[in-house]
Amino acid sequence: MTEEQRRALANAKVWLFDLDNTLYPASCNLFDQIHVRMRDYLMNYFKVDEEEAQRIRRKYFLEHGTTLSGLMINDKIDPTGFLDYVHDIDLSPVKPNPALDAALSRLPGRKLIFTNADTGHAENVMARLGIAHHFEAIFDIVGADYICKPNPAPYAQIVAEGLHVGQIIRMIESSPQRVRFWAGGDEHLLAPIVAANIAVLPLQDEQDAEEVIGDPLTSLRIGEVAQIISISPRTRGVERRRLMDLGILPGTSIEIEMASPSKNPTAYRIRGAVIALRKNQAEDIRIQRTTEVTL
């Protein structure tokens, strides 16, 4: 480890720990038990012998990344029942670890478990190790919407999906399993552990929301320079992606290059390129002026 890496770790404020074969040694062979339980689940569910169950497991793993994903997509199973069954194992090989307990005590910052297992299994393992009191929360397979590591999607959740200060959100669902909301023209899904780190203030009505995110791009005058704040939630899907591809992103500078008499369309300079936007498009782009025309 380089000195630069050591300094970065010394300043870390949040630590993500994998669980299985990381906080306890692989020699405990818990995965051997899980694989047997998985095989038995498939044999019971499909009413097949061991050889066919193993073939199904390999097929689903290769096609969908995990056996569980294959079962959910192809067979519409209840993932909770599957997870409960395969994690019903003997944890006696996992012994209390005072040395690990002491090491975690010396480590500053928040500590979180990030696992492809479910919360119940993680809690049982940590109880055996005697280290549960060190961890603030568990980000499990359910919170990741059943998307497993190393898929980048769960990691994207942990960095809060690119949400930024001043963004307007509309809540869809808040439950112990997930938090769903609309923001930036897209639906977002976060685990409660991630959502708990995002501070929000309630808005009274739509007018308040408009005031928070600045002025419409249509109000910009020739000679003024502005910074893009956001794209209105009204702009969605392909149209929103097109604007983002053109460089309409929070923090980007924009100015008028040329305006027709009707200002429809108007040519804007952004990131060294000139783009044309119709009036209805520009109305849905919110800005904050950085320089103004002096009259």
Residue intervals in the chain for CATH 1.10.150.450: 30-86
CATH code of the region 30-86:
1.10.150.450
Contact 287, 222 (CB under 8 A): no
pLDDT at 264: 79
Residue intervals in the chain for CATH 2.30.30.90: 212-291
pLDDT at 76: 92
Helices (H), 12-117: 30-46, 50-64, 67-75, 79-86, 98-106
pLDDT at 211: 44
- Alpha-carbon dihedral sign for residues 46, 52, 53, 56: negative
Class for the domain spanning 212-291: mainly beta
Residues 6+ apart with CB under 8 A from 132: 123, 126
Task: Record the tokens describing residue 77, joined without a space.
Answer: 């199973």
Task: Record the tokens describing residue 12, joined without a space.
Answer: 């870390």
Block means of pLDDT (10 residues each) for the chain, 295 residues, are 76 84 96 95 97 94 89 93 96 97 89 90 96 87 80 65 63 81 71 69 55 78 91 74 84 89 84 89 90 60
C-alpha distance from residue 138 to each of 86, 114, 133, 186 (Å): 19, 6, 12, 26
C-alpha distance from residue 17 to each of 75, 115, 208 (Å): 32, 8, 41
